[in-house]
């Protein structure tokens, strides 16, 4: 199978490049801890050339299309957001070119902005590719959670990213267990399913700020063992996240099977139908779709 183009996911902490065939199969992968934070603003062309030098030596200079924070203010070149509702064609129409050391062009896909259901502005860079890919995989309207440090709870309708909101579940968890009184002076933590589900039930019913302190009081009065506090906090946060995840009957979790495990436990307990779709599969499907929609052919 012949290498045809390169898809790149370049984020804040990691660089990932995928060698793609003309039919959308991934033939090889390069991954380095070389995110935006470790690259000087004027060094992106040099760093990129070094990162994919192995492929350049074998295949020559292939077309390159990039997504993620590489298109942010802190990235290679700031690419303006496309307003939702946004389709693959909308993103392809707003793609931006940057110069490579070879004299060729690389393309950077824009992110997507919207006003969420609460009337607040939202932005995403990278997740829009996964949503387009998920649309290619399941071929119907959907509600999806792209879980992570900042989860995206998104609604896809009629082939477009219609709306979404950001839920800071991962970052809040890290702050609470590492930098708050709830996580202080705890022994080594052990995940306990029953304790996690207890947190899910409470977090799914009540305002989060009113129940977080229960992680301390349950420990004080032995309702939750001190080795299970992290599991309880995780349950509170994930349970609360699902309050807004009921637009459609079924939820799609986008990410790795390993990281989806807690979300899956919570959804099973709440009797919400769900399916887990691999995040990389969605990303590559989405990039292939946008690559096929880019009519400029200026690489």
Residue 148 or 175, more confident: 175
Contact 237, 169 (CB under 8 A): yes
Among candidates 103, 101, 97, which has minimal Cα distance to 79?
97
Contact 114, 122 (CB under 8 A): yes
Q: Using one digit for the tens of pLDDT, what is the confidence trace for 64-105?
A: 999 999 999 999 999 999 999 999 999 999 999 999 998 889
Q: For residues 76 and 227, give the distance between their C-alpha atoms in angstroms, rounded to a whole number.
A: 44
- Domains located in the chain, CATH noted: 3-138 (3.30.420.300)
Q: Which residues are bridge partners to 246 per DSSP?
A: none
CA distances (Å), origin 214, targets 134, 229, 232, 293: 37, 10, 9, 51
Mean pLDDT score, 176-192: 96
pLDDT at 247: 58
pTM of the model: 0.94
């Amino acid at each position: 199978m012949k290498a045809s183009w390169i898809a790149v996911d370049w984020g804040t902490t990691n660089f990932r490049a995928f060698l793609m065939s003309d039919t959308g199969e991934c033939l090889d992968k390069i991954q380095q801890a070389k995110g935006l934070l470790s690259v000087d603003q004027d060094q992106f062309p040099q760093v990129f050339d070094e990162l994919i030098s192995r492929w350049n030596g074998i295949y020559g200079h292939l077309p390159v299309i990039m997504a993620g924070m590489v298109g942010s203010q802190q990235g290679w070149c700031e690419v303006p957001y496309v307003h939702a509702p946004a389709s693959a064609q909308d993103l392809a129409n707003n793609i931006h070119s940057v110069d490579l050391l070879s004299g060729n062009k690389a393309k950077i896909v824009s992110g997507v902005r919207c006003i969420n259901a609460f009337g607040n502005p939202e932005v995403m860079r990278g997740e829009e590719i996964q949503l387009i890919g998920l649309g290619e995989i399941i071929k119907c309207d959907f509600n999806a959670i792209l879980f992570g440090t900042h989860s995206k709870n998104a609604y896809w309708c009629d082939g477009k990213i219609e709306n979404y909101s950001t839920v800071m579940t991962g970052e809040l968890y890290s702050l609470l267990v590492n930098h708050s009184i709830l996580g202080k002076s705890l022994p080594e933590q052990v995940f306990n399913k029953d304790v996690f589900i207890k947190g899910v039930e409470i977090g799914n019913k009540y305002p989060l700020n009113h129940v977080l302190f229960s992680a301390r009081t349950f420990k004080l009065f032995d309702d939750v063992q001190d080795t299970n506090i992290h599991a309880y906090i995780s349950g509170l946060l994930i349970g609360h996240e699902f309050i807004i995840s009921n637009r459609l009957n079924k939820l799609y979790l986008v990410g790795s099977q390993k990281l989806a495990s807690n979300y899956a436990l919570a959804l099973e307990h709440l009797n919400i139908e769900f399916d887990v779709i691999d995040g990389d599969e969605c990303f590559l499907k989405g990039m292939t779709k946008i690559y096929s929609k880019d009519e400029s052919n200026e690489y």
